[in-house]
């Protein structure tokens, strides 16, 4: 059977930094990425990132993927990257199975780092399964990666950063945004919200989707006001003639592979759903499996990258590939994470991590 | 429809790729996935649900949700949102669960 030191599942920011760390520690690394491109969610981010200097803040997201790949290229004799490669399973004996461009392969790595990212959530309403009801991230992929116009006119559901940023990017691609609605209030940054409001898009708080109407695909969206118990208030309907509805109602960590590999999971709503129990080294309860990025709890690319750097170092150390500057790097990364999570917007996140880790952040 | 002018991105399309959707010839580009090429050609209904036969389109576009399953070159249950488009592919709407072999 094929073998290697470390397999990394997912080539997003967390997977790439994990690979940089592990390879620079001397380990042999194989990355499997299911998409035709490397970079995860970064490749569709055309906006300037927030975060801090060390994680490339104020650079456009898709450029960050290039920087990471350039860095990884320094270790190219240690690193193999496979695209169009979906990891299908991680078995008890540590064997992983992969659909590599239609070919079924097996591999037995010494350690595995799972950095699969997250899944876009959906909310229940009549018609939510019609073609034209799309994840906001999906629409972003279609327009920014493939250059295809997703629709003519959309209703955006959710006013977090993703809903706001994707609305702006839809307009850049020539799509009309009828309105942005949110159940409670705007949770994204107000700089984004005011920019969009200035462009004439109404942002309505206290609304939900009542129904999406359409024969074969979305033709009309009906929204209505909700009361404190989330019941629809009769007589408050607003109708929009739209051909798409984008949902940006949150993400949940993509943990299926971990569940299969007997990593213990715990439901923590502040982190987006089921997350793996892990220690400060980002090791799960299956001692050969490490995690990094959105799979450990929904955060940002900045923290995903730092977690990846940590998991790459610790997984490599486990197989006696110890980075020359291991101790300094680890403590620097832990400080960076504390810094990233210390802001006023991160209250819920801190609560979630507290629930997961107890005293050991 | 394709985006032609964008304030930040420049789309360098690859060579044209000819493929077949339920027998009809469609042109996409190198770099497309099956789903992106279909969407650009105005095809938004990619399949139907197994029991109630309701129309299905893509949802996540990154391979998570299986809302975009189609039969491609005779193979059923292919996630068309992450399958690179290739010359002369045959892409079909799948009825039911599809054949395994
Ligand atoms: C609209 C939007 C705006 C954002 N803006 C910002 C911002 O300004 N600043 C910021 O810091 N963050 C931002 N983020 C968040 C950031 O993009 C994510 O937090 C980050 O990408 C998470 O990194 P990751 O590596 O954990 O996951 P991902 O980037 O999701 O990468 C995971 C990768 O794993 C692959 N994968 C999954 N399952 C498998 C499998 N079974 N086999 C093989 N491969 C698999 C996926 O295809 C994917 O490429 C934004 C996100 C969105 C959607
Ligand atoms: S649209 Fe979700 S898997 Fe293709």
SS3 readout for chain A: CEEEEEEEECCCHHHHHHHHHHHHCCCCEEEECCCCCCCHHHHHCCCECCCCHHHCCCCEHHHHHHHHHHHHHCCCCCEEEECCEEEEEECCCCCEEEEECCEEEEEEEEEEEECCCEEECCCCCCCCCCCCEEEHHHHHHHHHHCCECCCCEEEEECCCHHHHHHHHHHHHCCCEEEEEEECCCCCCCHHHHHHHHHCCCCEEECEEEEEEECCCCCCEEEEEEECCCCCECCCCCEEECCCEEEECCCEEECCHHHHHCCCCEEEEHHHCEEEECECCCCEECCCCEEECHHHHCCCCHHHHHHHHHHHHHHHHHHCCCCCCCHHHHHHHHHHHHHHHCCCHHHHHHHHHHHHHHCCCC
Mean pLDDT, all residues of chain A: 95
- Does B79 fall in a domain? yes
Q: How far is B41 from chain A (nearest CA, A)?
A: 9
d(CA A68, CA A72): 6
CB contact under 8 A, A141 and B7: no
CB contact under 8 A, A138 and B1: no
Q: Is 80 exceeded by the pLDDT of residue A250?
A: yes
| Residues of A whose CB is below 8 A from B10 | none
Chain B stretch 2-41, residues whose beta carbon is closer than 8 A to a beta carbon of chain A: 2-3, 5-9, 11, 13, 31-33, 36, 39-40
State both tokens at B96.
């039911």
CB A71 within 8 A of CB A308: no
Q: Over pLDDT 90: what percentage of chain A?
A: 89
| Cβ-Cβ contacts under 8 Å for A202 (sequence gap 6 or more) | A179, A180
> Which CATH fold would you assign to the domain A2-119+251-357?
FAD/NAD(P)-binding domain (3.50.50)
Q: Is 90 exceeded by the pLDDT of residue A344?
A: no
Coil/strand/helix, residue B11: coil
Expressed in angstroms and rounded, the spacing between residue B57 Cα and the centre of ligand 2 is: 9
Q: Of A36-50, A122-136, A216-230, B17-31, which range is least confident?
A: A36-50
| Residues of B whose CB is below 8 A from A256 | none
CATH number of the domain where residue B32 is located: 3.10.20.440
What's the rounded mean pLDDT across residues A225-240?
95
DSSP code, position B36: H
Quick one: pLDDT band at residue A103, thresholds 50, 70, 90? very high
Question: What does the pLDDT read at residue A359?
Answer: 61
Question: What does the pLDDT read at residue B99?
Answer: 79
Question: What does the pLDDT read at residue B96?
Answer: 85
CB contact under 8 A, B44 and A217: yes
Q: Is 80 exceeded by the pLDDT of residue A50?
A: no
Among candidates A39, A61, A164, which has minimal Cα distance to B8? Answer: A61
Expressed in angstroms and rounded, the spacing between residue A13 Cα and the centre of ligand 1 is: 7
ipTM surpassing 0.90, yes or no? yes
- Does B2 fall in a domain? no
CB A289 within 8 A of CB A270: no
Q: Is 80 exceeded by the pLDDT of residue B100?
A: no
What's the rounded mean pLDDT across residues A48-62?
81
- Does B10 fall in a domain? no
d(CA A126, CA A117): 29
- Does B1 fall in a domain? no
Q: Is B85 on the interface with A (CB under 8 A)?
A: no
CB contact under 8 A, B63 and A150: no
> Which CATH fold would you assign to the domain A122-247?
FAD/NAD(P)-binding domain (3.50.50)
Q: Is 60 exceeded by the pLDDT of residue A200?
A: yes
Q: Is 70 exceeded by the pLDDT of residue A360?
A: no
Predicted TM-score (pTM) of the model is 0.95
Q: How far is A319 from chain B (nearest CA, A)?
A: 32
Q: Is 60 exceeded by the pLDDT of residue A361?
A: no
Q: Is 70 exceeded by the pLDDT of residue A71?
A: yes
Total number of domains in chain B? 1
Q: Are strands A103-114 and A2-9 parallel, antiparallel or unpaired?
A: parallel
Quick one: pLDDT band at residue B56, thresholds 50, 70, 90? very high
Expressed in angstroms and rounded, the spacing between residue B54 Cα and the centre of ligand 1 is: 30
What's the rounded mean pLDDT across residues A234-261?
97
Range of the domain at B34: 16-96
| Domains in chain A: boundaries | 2-119+251-357, 122-247
Quick one: pLDDT band at residue A48, thresholds 50, 70, 90? confident
- Does B42 fall in a domain? yes
Q: Is 90 exceeded by the pLDDT of residue A351?
A: yes
Q: Is A235 on the interface with B (CB under 8 A)?
A: no
What's the rounded mean pLDDT across residues B9-28?
93
Lining ligand 2 with CB less than 6 A are B 58-61, 63-68, 79, 81
């Amino acid at each position: 059977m094929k073998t290697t030191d470390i397999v990394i599942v997912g080539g997003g920011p967390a997977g790439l930094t994990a690979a940089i760390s592990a390879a620079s520690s001397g380990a042999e690394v194989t990355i499997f990425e299911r998409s035709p491109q490397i970079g995860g969610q970064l490749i569709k981010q055309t906006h300037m990132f927030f975060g801090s200097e060390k994680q490339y803040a104020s650079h456009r997201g898709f450029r960050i993927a290039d920087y990471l790949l350039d860095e990884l290229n320094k270790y190219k004799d240690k690193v193999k990257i496979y695209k169009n490669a979906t990891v299908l399973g991680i078995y008890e004996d540590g064997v992983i199975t992969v659909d590599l461009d239609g070919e079924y392969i097996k591999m037995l790595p010494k350690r595995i780092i799972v950095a699969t990212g997250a899944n876009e959530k959906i909310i229940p309403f009549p018609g939510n399964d019609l073609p034209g009801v799309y994840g906001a991230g999906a629409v972003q992929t279609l327009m920014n990666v493939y250059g295809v116009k997703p629709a003519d006119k959309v209703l955006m559901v959710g006013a977090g950063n993703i809903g706001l940023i994707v609305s702006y990017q839809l307009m850049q691609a020539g799509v009309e945004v009828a309105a942005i609605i949110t159940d409670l209030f705007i949770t994204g940054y107000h700089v984004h919200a005011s920019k969009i409001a200035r462009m004439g898009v109404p942002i309505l708080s206290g609304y939900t989707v009542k129904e999406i109407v359409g024969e074969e695909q979305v033709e009309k969206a009906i929204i209505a006001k909700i009361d404190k118990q989330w019941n629809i208030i009769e007589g408050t309907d607003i109708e929009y003639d739209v051909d798409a509805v984008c949902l940006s109602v949150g993400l949940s960590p993509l943990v299926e592979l971990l569940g299969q590999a007997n990593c213990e999971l715990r439901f923590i709503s502040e982190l987006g759903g089921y997350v793996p129990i892990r220690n400060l080294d980002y090791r799960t309860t299956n001692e050969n499996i490490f995690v990094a990025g959105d799979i450990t709890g929904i955060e940002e690319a900045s923290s995903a990258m730092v977690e990846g750097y940590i998991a790459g170092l610790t997984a490599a150390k486990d197989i006696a590939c110890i980075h020359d500057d291991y101790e300094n790097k680890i403590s620097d990364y832990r400080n960076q994470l504390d810094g990233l999570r210390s802001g006023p917007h991160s209250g819920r996140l801190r609560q979630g991590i507290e629930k997961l880790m107890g005293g050991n952040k | 429809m394709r985006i032609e002018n964008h304030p930040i991105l420049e789309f360098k399309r690859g060579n044209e790729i000819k493929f077949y959707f339920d027998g009809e010839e469609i042109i996409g580009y190198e770099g497309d996935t099956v789903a992106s090429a279909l969407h650009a050609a105005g095809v938004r209904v990619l399949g139907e649900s197994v029991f109630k036969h309701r129309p299905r389109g893509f949802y996540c576009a990154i391979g998570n949700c299986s809302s975009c399953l189609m039969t491609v070159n005779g193979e059923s249950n292919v996630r068309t949102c992450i399958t690179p488009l290739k010359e002369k592919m045959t892409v079909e709407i799948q009825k039911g669960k599809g054949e395994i072999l």
